[in-house]
């Protein structure tokens, strides 16, 4: 029938944002398979220094979503192509602040979204993952 | 040709105003052959307000909404491939399961259940991916 779907790795153009590599973690930033892109959970990494940005939750969300945009655009996709997103907060009381910043990034026709809170690693206040259509 | 993305069910404009759950999210987005459904919370079908009840009653309400949403989008519960259920307490999993089992055909879809902190005192959130 159809050919087997090709599976390839997604890398950010800015190598500072390749946390999988810099922290020697057993995952890749993302995988493209067929028409879909699956990104790993992303945290608030400063794109200049590679340090974690542990400021107010609004700043952490802004940094993380800006990095997600970079990651998707590095793969020829974009935030406008995101179909599903998971926003995980360390503290659910940051929901309103998260949401305020989130809307700046998805002003129209936003993706399907689920938000919850659970323990996160590295002291991150948020971790965001998504599924997007390839470009 | 790249797969097409389209919003099937737009963001809910719940009467509760800011802080209600789904205003920043489309309810269903289609990408290629799949429908991606947002994490749904129980909404009172007459008033449109957020509904708070037991884990069982919220589960029943959410799955009723999910069924309606999918059918309005031309899909159905028997085309669901993966479900994620978030519960405010894993101790409530049996109460969720008892209701959940009545909604899906045999064999039911793949599923993950997690206990997590949920926004606004919600007890159950359910999201899924289905075939269009």
pLDDT digits (tens, 9 = 90+) for A73-102: 999 999 999 999 999 999 999 999 999 999
ipTM of the complex: 0.94
Residue B42 CA to residue B8 CA, distance in Å, equals: 20
A43, burial (CB in 10 Å: exposed 0-12, middle 13-18, buried 19+): buried
Min Cα distance A17 → chain B (Å) is 26
CATH number of B27-131: 3.40.50.620, 3.90.1330.10, 1.20.1600.10, 3.30.1330.40? 3.30.1330.40
Closest CA to B106 of B71, B77, B69: B77
| Structural domains in chain A, sorted by start | 7-133 (3.30.1330.40)
CB-based contact (8 Å) between B113 and chain A?
Answer: no
Name residues of chain B where pLDDT drops below 70. 12-22
According to the model, what pLDDT value does residue B23 have? Answer: 73
Contact residues on chain A for B31, CB-CB shorter than 8 A: 35-36, 83-84, 131-133
Long-range contacts of B96-102 (CB under 8 A, 24+ apart): B96/B55, B96/B56, B96/B59, B96/B124, B98/B56, B99/B56, B99/B59, B99/B60, B99/B63, B100/B59, B100/B63
């Amino acid at each position: 029938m159809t050919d087997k779907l090709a599976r390839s790795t997604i890398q950010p153009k800015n190598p500072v944002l390749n946390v999988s590599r810099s922290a020697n973690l057993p995952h890749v930033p993302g995988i493209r398979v067929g028409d879909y892109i699956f990104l790993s959970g992303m945290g608030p990494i400063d794109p200049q220094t590679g340090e974690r940005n542990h400021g107010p939750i609004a700043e952490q969300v802004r940094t993380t979503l800006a990095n997600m945009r970079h990651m998707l655009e590095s793969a020829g996709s974009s935030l406008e192509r995101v179909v599903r997103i998971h926003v995980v907060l360390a503290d659910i009381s940051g929901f309103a602040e998260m949401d305020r910043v989130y809307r700046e990034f998805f002003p129209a026709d936003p993706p399907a979204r689920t938000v919850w809170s659970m323990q996160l690693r590295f002291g991150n206040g948020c971790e965001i993952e998504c599924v997007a259509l390839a470009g | 040709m790249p797969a097409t993305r389209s919003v099937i069910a737009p963001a809910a404009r719940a009467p509760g105003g800011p802080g209600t759950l789904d205003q920043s999210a489309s309810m269903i987005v289609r990408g290629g052959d799949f429908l991606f459904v947002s994490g749904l919370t129980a909404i009172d079908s007459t008033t449109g307000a957020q509904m708070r009840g037991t884990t069982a009653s919220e589960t029943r309400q959410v799955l009723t909404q999910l069924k309606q949403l999918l059918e309005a989008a031309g899909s159905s519960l028997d085309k669901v491939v993966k479900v994620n259920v978030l519960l405010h307490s894993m101790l409530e999993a049996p109460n969720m399961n008892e209701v959940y089992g009545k909604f899906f055909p045999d064999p039911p879809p793949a599923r993950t259940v997690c206990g997590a902190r949920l926004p606004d005192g919600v007890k159950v959130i359910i999201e899924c991916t289905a075939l269009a």
